[in-house]
Amino acid sequence: GVFQIEGDGAAEFLNVVTSNYAGWLEDGQSQYAYLFDPDGNVIDDVMVYRRSRDRYLMVVNAANEAKDWEWLNGVNDGRYLIDREIPKRRIVPRVRIRDLKDERGVIDIALQGPLSRDILIEAIGRENGPTLDSLERTKFCELIVSGHQLLIARTGYTGEPLGYEIYLTGEDGRWLWERLIELGRPIGLLPCGLAARDSTRTEAGLPLYGHELAGPYGIDPFEAGFASYVKLHKPFFIGRSEALKSYLNRNREVVRFTVDSEARPVRPGGAVLDRNGAVIGRVTSSVSLGPVQVGMALLERIGLGEGEEINLLNEVRGEAGKPTSRLESGDRVAVPIYGRIAPRFPTRMPISDGGE
């Protein structure tokens, strides 16, 4: 979903509803942030783009679009409690929130990888090359190319050091898509969907809402390894008090792990065991990447070092909990899969200093 926040109070509104500090942004800059409810639960993770002093884009997860729209409008209208300590606190002044996907059919095309710059310059014209070259990570520009309006951001959720997300309307999107495929296919550009993106973001250690963020285990940004995007120095944002408690009392963490490719596939929801066979966590994501499997897991302890041995136990499909004394020929039992703790982020993954 793509929402536009408009009005003189747009920056202040975003400072209240998101965990990052929108006041740091200048025109053409973006930042990653979280939406919390007053109890510190993560509603969604979002990207915020400053188009001008009184116009910001907020890009939300498609699966959470309706929920986020209702939450933001409810906060703006004063229908929802935003501070349990000061129940009468409200947003002042109000802003205008527009759904650009609904109004104009705005979509996002993500062009990621080491050749993305070269392909995009060919698609939008070499005369726009200097503008594209000037974009540092998380910055964006707005261009009119052959009558097509494009917002091009040096952002992405694949872990690639170089990549772009292009926001444009449906008709403009069809034009750009066809040009990218035509120009990029000879040098290896392939269209792909969210399953392919999921493999790259897992390899990069990036959390996905419902897996390493919120979801069945209620994972918060501190546990996910993204504390720098929660600006606890701000005097107030929705959920700040509970977020501070989570930060001070953290006793869980998300880790990355690797498994040899010859091993059976590791499935999300599987148990993580230490070397002594004690359950210490649950697998949240796992993908096969050529010679290895790479995954992430939530551990109920902090501090397992890189290279430490773990065992992963998939849930047995069918009858479960049968005592060993009753096992018969053909019964299936879970067999541990050997793995090791990997660095939280690959070395090729640029890590934010917290200012994005």
Residue listed under structure tokens 């070269």: 118
pLDDT at res. 355: 35
Q: For the chain, which domains are there?
A: 2-104 (3.30.70.1400), 107-188 (3.30.1360.120), 251-356 (2.40.30.110)
pLDDT at res. 325: 81
The 10s digit of each residue's pLDDT in 212-260 is 999 999 999 999 999 999 999 999 999 999 999 999 999 999 999 999 8
pLDDT at res. 328: 85
Tokens at residue 311, please? Answer: 């065992």
What is the pTM for the complete model shown?
0.92
pLDDT at res. 320: 57
Mean pLDDT rounded to a whole number for the chain: 93
User: What whole-number distance in Å separates Cα of residue 236 and Cα of residue 247?
Assistant: 16
pLDDT at res. 350: 44
**Lowest-pLDDT choice from 13-22, 192-201, 297-306, 347-356:** 347-356
Residue listed under structure tokens 């990549």: 163
Q: Is 315 helix (H, G, I), strand (E, B) or coil?
A: coil
Tokens at residue 189, please? Answer: 């550009």
Averaged pLDDT, 167-196: 93
Percent of the chain at pLDDT > 70 equals 96
Do 304 and 341 form a contact (C-beta atoms < 8 A)?
A: yes
pLDDT at res. 354: 35
**How much of the chain is helix, strand and coil, in % rounded to 5?**
30, 30, 45
User: What whole-number distance in Å separates Cα of residue 136 and Cα of residue 153?
Assistant: 9
Name which of 49, 86, 79, 81 is nearest 235 in CA terms.
Answer: 86
Name which of 37, 61, 68, 62 is nearest 47 in CA terms.
Answer: 61
Per-residue pLDDT for 344 more than 80?
yes
User: What whole-number distance in Å separates Cα of residue 238 and Cα of residue 95?
Assistant: 17
Q: Kindly indicate the confidence band of residue 349, based on its pLDDT and cuts at 50, 70 and 90.
A: very low
Q: Kindly indicate the confidence band of residue 291, based on its pLDDT and cuts at 50, 70 and 90.
A: confident
